[in-house]
Structure 1
Amino acid sequence: MSVIEEFIRVEKDGTISFGNFLTDSKKKVVDFEVNGDLYYVKTYSEITRLEKNSKLLLEAVPGAAIHNLYMDGKKVSFSIEGKDDIHVIMELEPNTEYRVIVDDFIVGSVCGNLSGKVNFSVDVKNGEKNVVLEKAN
């Protein structure tokens, strides 16, 4: 895979891909519409951030390329690539525990705080990683 030259796009399967960690200056796309929702993306080498209807969905530090972001009520999945270890912040459901799975290996669990934010890191030094967060039952 590679960076998203247009900074955000909808894939044929309806998922969203975004981010360009190779650009040195901040790039933004405002009011990118998908199914009536408005997305905002800011991306460059230091950060990649995606918001939906002014609510944080995902933030990656340093910047990253996120491919095929899919979210439903029980699961989030995407692939991520970048230059270094990437710290990911997502806003999901408050006080809810999620299993974090990277390349089919359960690496642990995270719990959404009062605002629903979860934090975890992904080592992408050896290439793109597939990430899944599943609600723990």
Structure 2
Amino acid sequence: MAVVEELIRTEEDGTISFGNYLLNTKSKVQDFEHNGDLYKVKTFKEITKLEKNGMFVYESVPGTAVTNFMATATGVDFFVEGTEDAQITLELKDDTEYRIFINDSNVGQVKTNMSGKLMLSVELGISKEVHVKIATL
């Protein structure tokens, strides 16, 4: 896996990929159309943020590259890469319990708050890709 040079793209399987943690300055793409929705991505070495139709979807600190990102009514599934461990915040359904899987290992469950935010940390490093799957119970 590598950074997403074009900052955001549609993959052949219908998912999206976004983010470039190697950039030293903030870069963004607005109004990227995918399946009838408009996405905005802002990314560089310190943060990667994704919005869909003006609403928060994903944020990582520091910046990351995300591939094959798929959000459904029951959760999200994606691969993430970065130069160091990252804290990821996702917008999901509010007041809902989710099970978190990292590289197919169940690492626990979490209940989102009233705003639907879910936070997790992933251990990353150069050339290390992590598979994250979050699903409703």
Task: Normalising by structure 2, report the TM-score.
Answer: 0.97
Could you tell me which residue of structure 1 aligns to residue 59 of structure 2? Answer: 59
Alpha-carbon separation, structure 1, partners of 2:111 and 2:24: 33
Moved more, 45-54 or 110-119: 110-119
Partner AA of 1:82 in structure 2: G
Structure 1 runs, 4 residues or longer, greater than 6 Å off: none
SS at match of 1:100: strand
Could you tell me which residue of structure 2 aligns to residue 13 of structure 1? Answer: 13
Confirm or deny: 8 A CA contact 2:75 2:92 kept in the other structure: no
Moved more, 123-132 or 78-87: 123-132
Task: Normalising by structure 1, report the TM-score.
Answer: 0.97
Long gaps (5+) in structure 2? none
Q: Deviations over 1:66-90 (max 9, x none)?
A: 0000111113100000011110000
Could you tell me which residue of structure 2 aligns to residue 119 of structure 1? Answer: 119
Long gaps (5+) in structure 1? none
The number of residues matched between the two structures is 136
Alpha-carbon separation, structure 1, partners of 2:99 and 2:125: 22
Partner AA of 1:57 in structure 2: V
Could you tell me which residue of structure 1 aligns to residue 80 of structure 2? Answer: 80
Alpha-carbon separation, structure 1, partners of 2:35 and 2:135: 24
Question: Identity of paired residues, percent?
Answer: 49
Q: Does residue 135 of structure 2 align to residue 134 of structure 1?
A: yes
Could you tell me which residue of structure 1 aligns to residue 37 of structure 2? Answer: 37
Moved more, 28-37 or 120-129: 120-129
Confirm or deny: 8 A CA contact 1:39 1:53 kept in the other structure: yes
Could you tell me which residue of structure 2 aligns to residue 69 of structure 1? Answer: 69
SS at match of 2:89: strand
Partner AA of 2:135 in structure 1: E
Deviation for aligned residue 1:56 = 0.7
Moved more, 125-134 or 18-27: 125-134
Alpha-carbon separation, structure 2, partners of 1:35 and 1:129: 26
Alignment of 1:91-102 (within 5 A): 91-102=91-102
